[in-house]
Structure 1
Amino acid sequence: MKYDEIKLGQIYEVKRKITAHMVETFAEITGDKNPVHLDEEYASKTIFKKRIAHGILSVGLISAVLGMEFPGPGTIYMKQDTKFLKPIYIDEEITIKITVKEKIEAKSRLLLTTQIFNENGDIAVDGEALVLFKN
């Protein structure tokens, strides 16, 4: 994809399934072994009632979409603002939605709305990213 092919208001959506393996691998890599992510018995006694994915894991999935799918290879992440609104559970299928909010032509930058919806269609993660895309 080329910068001039990207249109204001353009939307890109993709589904992903959050697996226990993803969460456990993320915990190993980062050292964030909070039992709410890894221990079903512990998580059952929390407000979530079962294990949840790390919030930053979900942001990592947004990063993967930006760098590999839309806008795609060559994308440089410059800024991400994120609000975590709902938990994302293990084995939940999520929808990642990227919307082009603004094009900054002079600097080949894009301001993107970055959202993740849970299986119920509720916004679980809401944010905005600024990326450099010179392709």
Structure 2
Amino acid sequence: MVILIGKKRKLGKAMGELQIGDTYRAIKKIEDKDLLLYLGLTDDANPLYIQHDYASQTPYKQPIVPSVMVFGMVSSIISMHLPGPGSHITQHEMIFPNPVLHDTEVTLTIEIIAIDEDNHKVAVSVIGFDKNGFDIVSGKLYVSPPSYPNTLTANSLDNFF
């Protein structure tokens, strides 16, 4: 545990703590409120995501969740769980073979598949499926795990907290 600006915060796993085969699985239900928040933050008004009358006339037959929102859930797993806080995605290659429908539960699993200590990077695979068992995402990401500096306190910022 380290101190971040006077508060105790736990960083994720450092390079030496990671092993090939480490996994993390998350189950998340994508609710309309999540989708509307995402669309509002990104100023995305694609009718395929929110307009039932339009989406019903597409091959999807109903509104779908933006693929980048699914990527955001993967990114959150990496930055909050494995390797965890302090890590950073440096590259990603992902496909989204089937759409995610509104109000659907998805399962996302990430796994450490390679470790490159010389370049301070790990390769992570991701697979995801919806409640019906359809693949919704698969791919590989490269992640720089957290670094543990000597100190993370900044006295000059004390007045802001």
Q: TM-score range by the shorter chain?
A: over 0.9
Asked whether 1:102 is paired with 2:120, we answer no
Aligned length: 135
Measure, in 1, the Cα distance between the counterparts of 2:65 and 2:44.
11
Measure, in 1, the Cα distance between the counterparts of 2:43 and 2:140.
26
Q: Please list every run of at least 4 consecutive aligned residues from structure 1 whose deviation after the TM superposition is greater than 6 angstroms.
A: none
TM-score (norm 1): 0.93
1:48 to 52, 60, 70: 60
Q: CA deviation at 1:107?
A: 2.2
Q: CA deviation at 1:121?
A: 2.1
- Is the contact made by 1:16 and 1:94 (CA closer than 8 Å) also made in structure 2? yes
Measure, in 2, the Cα distance between the counterparts of 1:102 and 1:120.
30
The alignment's C-alpha RMSD in Å is: 1.3
Once the two structures are superposed, residues 23-81 of structure 1 have per-residue CA deviations (whole angstroms, 9 ceiling, x without a partner) of: 11211111221111011121112111111100000001111111011110010110111
Residue in 1 that maps onto 2:128: 116
Measure, in 1, the Cα distance between the counterparts of 2:57 and 2:146.
48
Once the two structures are superposed, residues 98-135 of structure 1 have per-residue CA deviations (whole angstroms, 9 ceiling, x without a partner) of: 01110001122110012221112222111111010144
Tell me the percent identity. 26
Residue in 1 that maps onto 2:145: 133
- Is the contact made by 2:23 and 2:82 (CA closer than 8 Å) also made in structure 1? no
Q: Which runs of 5+ in 1 are unaligned?
A: none
Q: CA deviation at 1:2?
A: 3.2
2:32 to 20, 27, 42: 20
1:4 to 9, 16, 21: 16
1:92 to 91, 101, 104: 104
Measure, in 2, the Cα distance between the counterparts of 1:134 and 1:16.
25
- Is the contact made by 2:85 and 2:146 (CA closer than 8 Å) also made in structure 1? no
TM-score (norm 2): 0.79
- Is the contact made by 2:88 and 2:146 (CA closer than 8 Å) also made in structure 1? no
